[in-house]
Amino acid sequence: MRYVVSVDGRAIRVDSGVDGRLLIDGRVIAYDAREIDRGRWSVVLEGRSHEVALPGGGRVSVDGVEVALTLTDERALAARADRALTPGGRHEIRAPMPGLLKAFHVGEGDHVERDAALATLEAMKMENEVRSPARGVVQRLAAAPGTKVESGALIAVVVETAG
């Protein structure tokens, strides 16, 4: 699976394989990851051990140092490209991956700015914020908090407004 990982605003391209190796910005890295307990992992990268904690809210702690992190998989990148082509300023926001829709941060009829957090989706024990692709009005919320959604499931519709 291919991902774009943003760490404190720096984008890194990561390809993961089932063979215990990552391709990070074109460089092969051996890794092993094991969950210690819920939200805490032991990760070995190239023979060096690290403790990784996932406190949520788009944050990750590596060896006690907290950083902002977003993880976008190739399906989400493709969905974003499709949204950009949606005619008439109507944006269908879809789940970038399967997971549990934990919460909505907006309601139908709310005005939102571009990149405003619309919902929180929990996937692979990480909370991911689903953001608005444009400034507009939330026309529809298509699922309820607590619902399990599949990759590509409609979550919300935002209609662009001028300005």
As a whole number of angstroms, the distance between CA 88 and CA 92 comes to 12
Structural domain includes residue 141: yes
Domain count, the chain: 2
For residues 90 and 156, membership in a common domain is answered with yes
Structural domain includes residue 79: no
For residues 68 and 91, membership in a common domain is answered with no
Predicted local distance difference test score (pLDDT) of residue 112: 94
Predicted confidence band at 156 (pLDDT cuts at 50, 70, 90)?
very high
For residues 90 and 122, membership in a common domain is answered with yes
Residue found by looking up tokens 């941060």 in the block = 105
Predicted confidence band at 18 (pLDDT cuts at 50, 70, 90)?
low
Structural domain boundaries, residue 141 = 86-160
Structural domain includes residue 20: yes
CB hemisphere CA count around 94 (13 angstroms): 19
* Six-digit token string for 35: 């969950």
CB of 161 closer than 8 Å to CB of 110: no
What element of type H or E holds 71?
A: strand 65-73
Sign of CA dihedral 78, 13, 28, 65: negative
SS3 145: coil
**Of the listed ranges 20-24, 125-129, 150-154, the one predicted with least confidence:** 20-24
Predicted local distance difference test score (pLDDT) of residue 85: 46
Predicted local distance difference test score (pLDDT) of residue 100: 92
pLDDT in tens, 96-130: 888 899 999 999 999 999 889 999 998 877 888 89
As a whole number of angstroms, the distance between CA 109 and CA 100 comes to 24
Q: Mean of the per-residue pLDDT values for the chain?
A: 83
Cα separation values, 152 from 36, 76, 96, 157, Å: 31, 8, 6, 13
* Six-digit token string for 51: 């403790």
Q: What CATH number should be reported for the domain holding residue 26?
A: 3.30.700.30
For residues 51 and 91, membership in a common domain is answered with no
Structural domain includes residue 15: yes
Structural domain includes residue 144: yes
Structural domain includes residue 78: no
Last residue of a domain, one of 31, 51, 73: 73
Which alpha helices (DSSP H) does the chain contain, by range?
A: 74-84
Q: What CATH number should be reported for the domain holding residue 112?
A: 2.40.50.100
Structural domain includes residue 149: yes
Predicted confidence band at 4 (pLDDT cuts at 50, 70, 90)?
confident
For residues 92 and 69, membership in a common domain is answered with no
Last residue of a domain, one of 73, 102, 123: 73
Q: Is the pLDDT of residue 157 over 90?
A: yes
Predicted local distance difference test score (pLDDT) of residue 49: 93
Predicted local distance difference test score (pLDDT) of residue 13: 79
**Of the listed ranges 16-30, 70-84, 94-108, 111-125, the one predicted with least confidence:** 70-84
For residues 98 and 67, membership in a common domain is answered with no
Q: Is the pLDDT of residue 152 over 90?
A: no
For residues 151 and 99, membership in a common domain is answered with yes
Last residue of a domain, one of 47, 73, 99: 73
